[in-house]
Structure formats: structure tokens, C-alpha cells
């Protein structure tokens, strides 16, 4: 099944009951269970009817003794004795009902009220996947049109896996689509080897093989670790890659309480932009004046998150060019300050990479990986570029998994990365 927000977050093992994505989804089955459980109703009803029966019997006793002759009294006493004898019957049925309800309780997981919740969740996943896949295909239209047409023309002439000219043509097309020379060489070598081994002579088979190998190259651990309290997520990247916007979007999907830290004290209006996202999402923002020490902002935000019990702290940072040594050194300082206050933090270091920058984005990712120790890549602006092949180069050469991708400005245009989906959307028209 395609990856969704439901299975994207890695939670603490100490919270087995909180693994559902939202509180409402966990409450619905519980409510259904209570309303559909007949055993509880059977226990309550006899308790109410028990006191009413003796009250009626005592009135009949008084009438029988006070108004009837002796002979009739004996008959009447027999009548009175019948309700008296029936009292145990009234008390016993609840016991029988409770005993009979025990096997019903054992069968409770099978009725539809219990099964409705999983099927509803599965339907929600399918709807989300279907809607997202459509947006992903639209977002990758330019990338697909830029080289899939060329690949189609080359594959249409494919006859034999021994044709070296064909493989050279494929290499040229992939390199021109920003897949990069090292990644292209690896991918084509693997394709050629398997095509020869399987004796592939059909263009349709070769297309399927391309999707399979692209998927294999893109696959990686893409869960977002939020198992700590607070979980600290450090957002890095150069200016213009959508870092602050991604923070705001991501906060909409994170479970629990979130907090922002305006660590980009260098760029004009960066603090105000994050504060606007805080207002829109109802998220508190820790901020200082422009030009303040970014490490001091990080220090204050971690202390505040610990004190106030926030679940996730997202720290924005200045857009550092990978060629600026002093700015990269400041990022290293921020990283060390966070680690001293909260051992093991930051738990996630996510870098936003603008897909429109192509190979330059790849070089940025390599440099940030050395300085900040990236745990994931967020590939943004895929809808505005024909260089979607950069995802293959990042996955292969940086050694950091792509965890999220964005294909538009809307909140729902941000989504967990799924290798198979991406490969099918990219090569789908082959």
C-alpha cells in the first residue's frame, strides 16, 4: 500500500494505544463497543427492576391480610406466595443473562461495529493515496514530458539488450534530465545487466524494468521519528527552498502539540513569516529580534519546549549557502547547543532542496550532510521543474533518504515520499 501520513510517523513504543493518527479515530471504535455491548445493559436493567417488585408485593400482602376471610386468606396467601416465589426468578435471570452474555463478549471483535473502523481507515488511506497520486503526476508533468518522450522514442526502437547504441542513448537522456553522471551510469549498468540476463527483447518489459530499478534506487527509511518528548526537528537549507513554508505545512500533520523556533535571525521578514504560520496553525513561536544569536534562540526554545511539555519542536534556521564557511559553522554551533540541552537531539535534521536547482541542489545536500548530519531530504517545487530526475541522484549519491516531497503551494501538496509512487509517476507514460 502507498505510504500515507498514517504510517509515516514513528512513535514511542511506550504509547501502544496512541498509534492511531488522530484521537477521533481511536475513540470511534470505543464508542461503538460500548453502545453495542449487550452485557452491560443486561446488568443495569435488573438492578432497576429489583426494588420495584418487592414494593408491589408488600402492598398485596397488606390487602390480603386486612380484607379477606381466613379461608380466602389461605388461597390469597398462595397467590401472594407466587410472586414471592417469582422473586428469585426475577433475580436469577440477570445472572443467567450475564452468563449467557459472556460468549457474546468473546464474539464482540467479529461484529460490524468493530470491523467498521479498520475498513474506514483503509478507505481513507485509499482515497488519500488516489488523490495524492493524481497531484503527484500533475506535479511531475514537466519532468515526465522532458525526457519520457525521448525515452519512448528510444525504447520504441529497442530490439536487443546487446545494442550498445541504445544504452548510450538512454544515458544521454538521463544525464540531460539532471539524474547526474554517476547515478545514470549505475542505473543504466544495472538495467543492461538484468536485460541481458532475462533476455528482454520487448519495449514493454524494459519499461517495467526501468520502474523497478528506479524504485529500488529511491527506496529508503522514510519514517519521521517523533518518539521523543520533546522531539526536536532542525530545518536547514538555503534561502528560497521553502524551508519556513514547509515548517508550517508539516505542523498541520504532526500529532500532539507543536512549537516553532524562529532561528532564522538573518533574513529579512523570516521571523514574521514564521509568526504568521504560528497564528494560522495556533502554534506558539519562540522568537527574538532580528540579528540575535541563532544558538541562543535554539537554547531558549528547547528549554521552553521541555518546560511546557510540547511534543514536537520545529527549529527554523538561516538560509546558509554551502559555500559560506562562517554560516555553516554557526549551524554546527546550533546543533551542538541543542545536543547539550537534550542528549540525542536534534532527533531529525531535515533539509529542503529546491528541485528546480538540479545538480546544484545535489551539491548543497552533500555539504549540509557533512556539517549537520542530515536524517532526511524534503524535495520541494517539483511542480515547477523538468528536473525531477534529481531525486534519483540525491537518493543515490547523498546517502540520505528523501522523506517528504512537495508539488505545490497548498498544505495537501506536501506528502510523505513513496519510492514506487514516484517512479510510476515519473516513468508512468513510458
Contacts for 101 with CB less than 8 Å, ≥ 6 apart? 38, 39, 42
Query: What average pLDDT does the chain have?
Result: 76
Q: What is the pLDDT of residues 162-186, one digit of tens each?
A: 889 999 999 998 988 888 899 999 9
Residue 92 has pLDDT above 50, yes or no: no
User: What is the pLDDT at residue 408?
Assistant: 84
User: What is the pLDDT at residue 326?
Assistant: 75
Query: Percent of the chain scored above 70 by pLDDT?
Result: 68
Q: Is pLDDT larger for residue 290 or for residue 325?
A: 290
Q: pLDDT-based confidence at 301, cuts 50/70/90?
A: very high
Residue 7 has pLDDT above 90, yes or no: no
Q: What is the pLDDT of residues 52-72, one digit of tens each?
A: 444 444 444 434 444 444 444
Taking residues 206-231, report their average pLDDT: 92
Q: Is pLDDT larger for residue 116 or for residue 365?
A: 365
Q: Is pLDDT larger for residue 412 or for residue 426?
A: 412
Q: What is the pLDDT of residues 345-361, one digit of tens each?
A: 999 999 999 988 888 99
Rounded Cα–Cα distance for residues 92 and 97 (Å): 9
Rounded Cα–Cα distance for residues 140 and 426 (Å): 6
Q: Is pLDDT larger for residue 49 or for residue 319?
A: 319
Q: pLDDT-based confidence at 207, cuts 50/70/90?
A: confident
Of 67-76, 305-314, 421-430, least confident by mean pLDDT is: 67-76
Rounded Cα–Cα distance for residues 358 and 150 (Å): 19
pTM for the predicted model, two decimal places: 0.71
Closest Cα partner for 304 from 259, 262, 347? 259
Contact in structure between 31 and 117 (CB atoms under 8 Å):
no
Amino acid at each position: 500500500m502507498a505510504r500515507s501520513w498514517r504510517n509515516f510517523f514513528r512513535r514511542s513504543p511506550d504509547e501502544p494505544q496512541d498509534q492511531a493518527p488522530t484521537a477521533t479515530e481511536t475513540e470511534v471504535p470505543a464508542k461503538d463497543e460500548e453502545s453495542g455491548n449487550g452485557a452491560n445493559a443486561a446488568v443495569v436493567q435488573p438492578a432497576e427492576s429489583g426494588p420495584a417488585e418487592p414494593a408491589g408485593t408488600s402492598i398485596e400482602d397488606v390487602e390480603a391480610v386486612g380484607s379477606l376471610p381466613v379461608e380466602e386468606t389461605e388461597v390469597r396467601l398462595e397467590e401472594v406466595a407466587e410472586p414471592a416465589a417469582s422473586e428469585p426468578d426475577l433475580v436469577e435471570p440477570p445472572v443467567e443473562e450475564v452468563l449467557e452474555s459472556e460468549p457474546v463478549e468473546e464474539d464482540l471483535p467479529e461484529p460490524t461495529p468493530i470491523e467498521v473502523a479498520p475498513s474506514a481507515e483503509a478507505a481513507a488511506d485509499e482515497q488519500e493515496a488516489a488523490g495524492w497520486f493524481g497531484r503527484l503526476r500533475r506535479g511531475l508533468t514537466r519532468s515526465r514530458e522532458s525526457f519520457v518522450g525521448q525515452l519512448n522514442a528510444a525504447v520504441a526502437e529497442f530490439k536487443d539488450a546487446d545494442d550498445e547504441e541504445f544504452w548510450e542513448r538512454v544515458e544521454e537522456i538521463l544525464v540531460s534530465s539532471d539524474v547526474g553522471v554517476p547515478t545514470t551510469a549505475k542505473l543504466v549498468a544495472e538495467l543492461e545487466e538484468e536485460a541481458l540476463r532475462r533476455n528482454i527483447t520487448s519495449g514493454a518489459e524494459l519499461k517495467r524494468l526501468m520502474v523497478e530499478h528506479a524504485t529500488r534506487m529511491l527506496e529508503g527509511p522514510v519514517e519521521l521519528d517523533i518518539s521523543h518528548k520533546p522531539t526536536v526537528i532542525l530545518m536547514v537549507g538555503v534561502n528560497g527552498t521553502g524551508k519556513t513554508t514547509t515548517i508550517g505545512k508539516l505542523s498541520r500533520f504532526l500529532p500532539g502539540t507543536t512549537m516553532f523556533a524562529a532561528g532564522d535571525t538573518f533574513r529579512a521578514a523570516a521571523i514574521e513569516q514564521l509568526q504568521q504560520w504560528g497564528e494560522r496553525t495556533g502554534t506558539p513561536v519562540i522568537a527574538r529580534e532580528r540579528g540575535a544569536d541563532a544558538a541562543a534562540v535554539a537554547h531558549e526554545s528547547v528549554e521552553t519546549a521541555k518546560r511546557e511539555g510540547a511534543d514536537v519542536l520545529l527549529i527554523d534556521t538561516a538560509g546558509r549557502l554551502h559555500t559560506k564557511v562562517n554560516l555553516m559553522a554557526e549551524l554546527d554551533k546550533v546543533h551542538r547547543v541543542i545536543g547539550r540541552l537534550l542528549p540525542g537531539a536534534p532527533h531529525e535534521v531535515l533539509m529542503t532542496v529546491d528541485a528546480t536547482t538540479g545538480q546544484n541542489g545535489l551539491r548543497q545536500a552533500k555539504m549540509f550532510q557533512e556539517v549537520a548530519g542530515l536524517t532526511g531530504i524534503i524535495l520541494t517545487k517539483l511542480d515547477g521543474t523538468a528536473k525531477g530526475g534529481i531525486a534519483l541522484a540525491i537518493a543515490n549519491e547523498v546517502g540520505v533518504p528523501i522523506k517528504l516531497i512537495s508539488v505545490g503551494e497548498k498544505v495537501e501538496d506536501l506528502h510523505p515520499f513513496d519510492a514506487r509512487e514516484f517512479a510510476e509517476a515519473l516513468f508512468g507514460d513510458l
